[in-house]
Structure 1
């Protein structure tokens, strides 16, 4: 199939916290979009109002599209979307492309039916997804990258071509290892600080604007300091999942990963105690609790809840 960027028909599956913002930008910037709806009708109705079309099955999305984006939680979901009854494989045409924005790859299986696979995992939050300024780490051969880049540019402000298919996912795991490692360190440091009489605001007054400050620190701290639960909307469940993938990648590479395992264990405890909708900055509250200190923030004079 020979197409130009302007003629590509786009499919989208996964209208979650990140996916709706991505899909919105694709259709707003001129691409015909067919998407798979979900029980939460608000994102679907928004996209329909912008001119997108809704499909009943993943197969129908594939049949209507040249490039299909998947933005779901992890490997089981992606495998079901591609392989399951009414799945993408039943509707994909030879020459189509599947772009996976999560953290899993099925390139070899799709190659057998003449379909290319691109991994383009994301970084940042739903706020940047809506604004079209996400970071994307893309794994694809050069020619395939050139084909999908114009579409990715509709929702990403920073696109890095990491290497061949699979390299984007590997880089995403490394990126999340660093950010989630920061989260585990910040959480333990805040708990220790509180235990020895240094409050979160006093702790922050030293770190903020110093050499140890960074954008991730600032969004992470907005929960503990301000009670802003939406500052960094990446769930603890997804963080734990990515750290288990990192552990598997390290094992396959034959490298010791003690800091990755320690970070994973910090999130494992928070994930096990729930609730499911906890976001990454709330790790500090959990680490505080298991160490006998109260890091639950207040907002407008009232203690928050998770």
Structure 2
């Protein structure tokens, strides 16, 4: 769709004659594990960031961690990591800095704010943004970083907290090939499937396409549940059947946990759960629809999913869906909602992740 062709990493794509691993380009990133490597940094220790960073404790060059909640760094310090108060402090020593924060605004601040990474980053440093942001934000920030000799790559992840805990996340990297190769030794500690998606911005475009499918399927699940309920079927049993088969084939059964499709009361346990997931879905659907609008691609199910996702979950539409509905009523096209600031990708006060 974007003109960028996704390139699967040879190590993660079956191939009778896989291409040999390449050494990271000299001067880019922290170096390889056998080269007396430099430290790596991690900013944002929420639901996704903490388990990823935990695996980076094994990096031989050392780990520097940072979060707005200082107490989240304490377990890492106890295991040998160094705590930093700001992105600038992280970048004084780290030569690859991973960023897993809430949204575009926070990414901009962490990268180029008054105490951001660029204040101290040495030429050749790599900034890997794992947050799901607008692809245009990644491209813009990469240009700003390039002026300082720093490489910014968009490297969103997929696989949820379970994948982060098990070290089996997929990471979709938008970067020049030599920068991608420089990141791979570090990413290999926590990702089961690294994929070179293309140039900067392509990682985010791949993630948006993946999550478009993800959240459209959630909306379809709610519709199927309404049909089954109207037909007199016990939807908890339907959910068990779907989860059983999805364990074999994959699918959207993971959200089929309630025993009714009725709206959820605000004091119900599930209200907070599905409000959080709605926020994630509406943000990613809005970003995907904005990308599709720029590319002239019609996504009717994506539009429907943005409109109906929260209602299907029983918590009603969020701000992004309501704004998109107003724009549609006014006959206005374009980005359905920007970057979405009513949820957190990484923290429960804040990902992702999905």
TM-score range, shorter chain: 0.7 to 0.9
Distance in 2 (alpha carbons) for counterparts of 1:85 and 1:34: 19
Secondary structure of 1:5's partner?
A: coil
Give 2:32's aligned residue: 5
The alpha carbon displacement at 1:213 in A equals 6.7
The alpha carbon displacement at 1:170 in A equals 0.2
Distance in 1 (alpha carbons) for counterparts of 2:274 and 2:156: 17
- Structure 2 residue corresponding to 1:239, chosen from 281, 289, 295: 281
The alpha carbon displacement at 1:93 in A equals 1.3
Within the alignment, does 1:18 sit opposite 2:48 as a pair? yes
Within the alignment, does 1:266 sit opposite 2:300 as a pair? no
CA contact (8 A) 1:207 1:213 kept: no
The alpha carbon displacement at 1:195 in A equals 2.7
- Structure 1 residue corresponding to 2:156, chosen from 121, 128, 141: 121
Relative distance call for 1:231 and 1:218 in structure 2 (3 A) is farther
Q: Higher mean Cα deviation, 130-139 or 229-238?
A: 229-238
Within the alignment, does 1:249 sit opposite 2:283 as a pair? no
- Structure 1 residue corresponding to 2:91, chosen from 62, 65, 68: 62
Number of residue equivalences: 274
RMSD of aligned Cα (Å): 2.9
CA contact (8 A) 1:120 1:168 kept: yes
- Structure 1 residue corresponding to 2:228, chosen from 163, 184, 193: 193
The alpha carbon displacement at 1:92 in A equals 1.3
The alpha carbon displacement at 1:194 in A equals 1.4
Within the alignment, does 1:52 sit opposite 2:99 as a pair? no
Secondary structure of 2:200's partner?
A: coil
CA contact (8 A) 1:219 1:231 kept: no
Give 2:169's aligned residue: 134
Higher relative contact order, chain-length normalized (CA < 8 Å, sep 6+)? 2
Relative distance call for 1:164 and 1:143 in structure 2 (3 A) is same
The alpha carbon displacement at 1:212 in A equals 11
Relative distance call for 1:69 and 1:210 in structure 2 (3 A) is closer
Q: TM-score, normalised by structure 1?
A: 0.80
Relative distance call for 1:108 and 1:277 in structure 2 (3 A) is closer
Secondary structure of 1:26's partner?
A: helix
Give 2:216's aligned residue: 181
The alpha carbon displacement at 1:246 in A equals 0.6
Superposed, 1:37-186 pairs within 5 Å as 37-39=67-69, 41=71, 43-104=72-133, 105=138, 106-186=141-221
